[in-house]
Amino acid sequence: MKNVLLVTGGSGGHVIPAISLLEHLERNFNVKIVSDIRGSKFIDQNNYEYVILDVPHLFSNPYLFPLKLIKYIFNIIKSLNFLKNNKINIVISMGGYMSIPFCIAAYLKKKKIILFEPNSVLGRSNKIMLKFSNKIICYDRNLKNFPDKYVSKKITIDPILRNQIYKLRKNSKSNSKKTKKILIIGGSQGASFFDHKITDFIVNISNLFQIEILQQVSDKNMNTLVSKKYEKAKINFKIFNFTNESKNIYDGIDLAITRGGASTLSELSYLNIPFIAIPLPTAKDNHQFYNSNYYYQKNCCWIINQDEFEIGKLSSLISKIFKNDEYYIKKIDHMEKLNEKNTWNNINNRIMEIINEN
Q: Quick one: pLDDT at residue 12?
A: 78
Quick check: 288 and 280 in contact, CB under 8 A? yes
3-class DSSP state of 132? helix
Q: Where are the domains of the chain?
A: 3-161+342-356, 166-338
- Give the domain 3-161+342-356 fold: Rossmann fold (3.40.50)
Predicted pLDDT of residue 60:
64
Contact between residue 56 and residue 68 where contact means Cβ atoms under 8 Å apart: yes
Q: Can you give the pLDDT at residue 37? A: 74
Report the pLDDT value the prediction gives residue 337, as an integer from 0 to 100: 96
pLDDT of 194 reads: 87
The CATH code belonging to domain 166-338 is 3.40.50.2000
What is the per-residue pLDDT for 188? 61
pLDDT for 207 equals: 86
| pLDDT at 355 (0 to 100) | 92
Residue 166 is predicted with a pLDDT of: 94
Domains 3-161+342-356 and 166-338 share a fold: yes
d(CA 356, CA 157): 16
> Are 155 and 139 within 8 A, CB to CB?
no
- Alpha carbon 324 to its chain centroid, in Å, reads 30
Mean pLDDT by 10 residues, the chain (358 residues): 89 86 93 82 73 67 71 86 94 90 94 96 94 96 95 96 92 83 80 86 89 88 88 92 72 94 95 96 92 97 92 90 90 96 95 89
Q: What is the pLDDT of residue 140?
A: 95
